[in-house]
Amino acid sequence: MGGWAIAVRELETDPFFNSGRGSALTAKGTVEMEASIMDGPKRRCGAVSGLTTVKNPVSLARLVMEKSPHSYLAFSGAEDFARQQGVEVVDNEYFITEDNVGMLKLAKEANTILFDYRIPLGLESCSAGVESPLVMNGLPIRVYAPETVGCVVVDSQGRCAAATSTGGLMNKMTGRIGDSPLIGAGTYACNLCGVSCTGEGEAIIRGTLAREVAAVMEYKGLGLQDAVDFVIKERLDDGKAGLIAVSNKGEVAYGFNCMGMFRGCATEDGFMEVEIWE
């Protein structure tokens, strides 16, 4: 299996992130997961939505790409395909964490749908000096708690790929599909770059964010970081999202216009970095 899918599987298994175990909950308190994957050079892709029992959605997206005649399967059809392919399935309760049950309660009390936890916890209350157990070193750490996960890779021959996996938004309607499984919105890879997005799916879909990075590189001739900066500034509503990207030249770039984005980078020669804030 490609390294990019393995990285996403690891993150899906960690309940800290909004994918697989630890996924954001629907308004009914259930989990509906989605994921997509794209292999740049051949522009092959696979996507899944509405998964309720598949332990690693990204692996099913990969099977859609490799073992089905289609690009995108959803809900009962995707679950049937998972069983045909023999992927690991678990009860829906496996994905539900105590933290997320609490967050759903907060979201319902605030009558809002969350892609992060800013609204109920409030940065304003932090800057106003209100003591909160959720503030560490003066920063509201829970603001960013679970995020969608994604991975972009480029190999020594300049081949790019991308994958994204999510539980979606906390308190979303059942049946809601976000950007993460949509090729061109939350995920895209081609001969030029690989891109994976996180944030408010509706804004990412409106901006066809991932594809725009590739389009700007192709049609405006911009380098990767300039393309990312252009797309974040020109195509994305303020405060809504972010993305990670690699180019066929081995460049790494990211951009976001929300307060922070968990991100990391690792190269073959051992370089590694992890960042959250600007």
Q: Specify the residue, 22 or 168, whose C-beta has the smaller distance to ligand ASP.
A: 168
**Residue 174 beta carbon to ligand ASP: minimum distance, rounded to whole angstroms:** 13
User: Cα(55)–Cα(63) distance, rounded to whole angstroms?
Assistant: 14
**Residue 115 beta carbon to ligand ASP: minimum distance, rounded to whole angstroms:** 5
198 contributes a contact to ligand ASP by CB under 6 A: yes
Q: Specify the residue, 201 or 255, whose C-beta has the smaller distance to ligand ASP.
A: 201
- Contact set for ligand ASP, span 82-141 (CB under 6 A): 115
**Residue 78 beta carbon to ligand ASP: minimum distance, rounded to whole angstroms:** 16
What is the torsion angle, in degrees rounded to the nearest 10, for the CA atoms of residue 134, residue 138, residue 143 and residue 147? -110
18 contributes a contact to ligand ASP by CB under 6 A: yes
Report residue 80 as tokens.
């049937």
Question: What backbone phi and psi angles, to 5 degrees, belong to 105?
Answer: -60, -45
- For residue 232, give Cα distances in angstroms to 2, 75, 254: 28, 31, 10
**Residue 179 beta carbon to ligand ASP: minimum distance, rounded to whole angstroms:** 5
**Residue 202 beta carbon to ligand ASP: minimum distance, rounded to whole angstroms:** 7
194 contributes a contact to ligand ASP by CB under 6 A: no
Q: Specify the residue, 147 or 212, whose C-beta has the smaller distance to ligand ASP.
A: 147
Fill in the per-residue mask, 202 to 221: x = in contact with ligand ASP (CB under 6 A), - = not in contact. --x-----------------
- For residue 19, give Cα distances in angstroms to 3, 52, 55, 138: 18, 12, 10, 27
Helix (H, G, I), strand (E, B) or coil at 160: strand
Element (H, E) at 3: helix 3-13
15 contributes a contact to ligand ASP by CB under 6 A: no
**Burial call 120-159: b when 16+ CB within 10 Å, e when fewer:** bbbeeebeeeeeeebbeeebbebbbbbbbbbbbbbeeeeb
Fill in the per-residue mask, 137 to 166: x = in contact with ligand ASP (CB under 6 A), - = not in contact. ----------xx-----------------x
| 176 marked among binding-site residues | yes
Residues labelled as active-site residues: 148
169 contributes a contact to ligand ASP by CB under 6 A: yes
Choose the stretch contacting ligand ASP; rule: CB under 6 A; options: 79-87, 154-162, 175-183, 226-234: 175-183
Q: Which of 114, 104, 15 is nearest to 122 (CA)?
A: 114
| 200 marked among binding-site residues | yes
Q: Which of 237, 230, 166, 169 is nearest to 204 (CA)?
A: 237
Element (H, E) at 80: helix 75-85
Using CB under 6 A, count the residues that bind ligand ASP.
16
| 211 marked among binding-site residues | no
- Residues 139, 173 contacting (CB under 8 angstroms): no
Binding site for ligand ASP (CB under 6 A): 18, 115, 147-148, 166, 168-169, 178-180, 186, 198-201, 204
